[in-house]
Structures are given as C-alpha cells and as structure tokens.
Amino acid sequence: MFAVPLGDDSAELRPLEIWQAEEFLAHMDRARELVDPWIPFAAFATDLESARALLRRYAEKQAADTGRLYGIWLDGTLVGGVLFRIFDADSGNCEIGCWLEPAAEGRGLVTRASRKLIEWAFEERGMHRVEWDASAANTRSVAVAKRLGMTRDGVLRENYLYRGVRHDSEIWSVLAPEWRARQN
C-alpha cells in the first residue's frame, strides 16, 4: 500500500479498499451530518455490509479504469476522501469529488488531496479535462473549486433531486494546459 503526504502535517492520501470497511463506516458515521445534505455518499454506507458494497463498487471501477477512491488520513485517522467519480480515459475527461468530517475542516485537506488527483490525472494519465460538480448551495465545495483554479462553466438549474429537494449544480473545470501553465 502507498501513502502520499499532503503537506508538513501528518495528513496523507491513501487508497480506500474493501478491507477497510469498518474504519470507513466509523468515519462515515462521523461525517454523515456534514456530507449528507449535499451528496448521497454517506447514505450509501450505513452499516458494515453497505460500506463494503460501496468500497467494492469503487474497487470494480478502479479495475475497469472508470473511477477511483482515496481516503484522507490525519494523525492516522480516516477523516475524509477524494475520488474520481467518473474517469473516461478515452475522452480525456474525468470528474473529481470530495467529502470530509467536521473535525478535519479548515485545514485545506480536500484542496491538497484534490490537487494530487488533478496532477495525477493530467501528468500520469494524460487527461485533458477535470470537472468539479457541486450543489450551488454547497459554498464550501464551490470554494475548493475556486482554490484549485477551476473555471465556472455554468449552472445546471434544478438538475438533481436529493432528499425531496431539487438542487442546482455548479460545474467547474480545469484543462490540462491551464493547469500546467499555473504550475510553472
């Protein structure tokens, strides 16, 4: 297994795998209140079997090269994660997403972890476009897209129904040439 440091603190990025279902479930229990208003991710992992199923789904996506799932650990505790929700190597497009538990907020962990995913997508996999899709009401997620230097492509009005409420999605993106120009 590998771990990628996310800075000078003890934060690191690691793959999230099926054998970590108990740790993942405990983390989701801590994160549920913060995550659940925006995405169904926490609702997919409510007991050990459903946590295993979610991790298995991403293991299958990774095997098919259509998605990946990574955890963010701080001081040895799983506190959040980032993922390639969609990964289409043929088209050169992918979408990243994130989640975090309250105790880990305000440290830049999601921004740092997302940078690692973007760098890998562009430099290792040759992707052309990385997208970020956030509920327009999720100001923290939108702020991460801005910190990553993404461009707001637009708003999809009331495009998804979650928990009986229609949400607008803000679509943000960064293109490989833009990313590389900012890294120099």
Model confidence over 44-92: pLDDT tens digits? 999 999 999 999 999 999 999 999 999 999 999 999 999 999 999 999 9
Model confidence over 152-174: pLDDT tens digits? 999 999 998 888 889 999 999 99
Which segment of 5-9, 22-26, 71-75, 144-148 scores lowest on mean pLDDT?
5-9
Q: Are 96 and 83 in contact (CB under 8 A)?
A: yes
Q: Which ranges of the chain would DSSP assign to H, the alpha helix?
A: 21-35, 48-63, 109-119, 139-147, 176-183
Q: What share of the chain is helix, strand, coil (3-state, %, to 5)?
A: 40, 35, 25
List the structure tokens of 53.
């199923």
Please, which pLDDT band fits residue 16 given cuts at 50, 70 and 90?
Answer: very high
**What pLDDT sits at residue 40?**
81
For residue 152, report the phi and psi dihedrals to the nearest 5 degrees: -75, 110
Q: Per-residue pLDDT averaged across 38-45, rounded?
A: 85
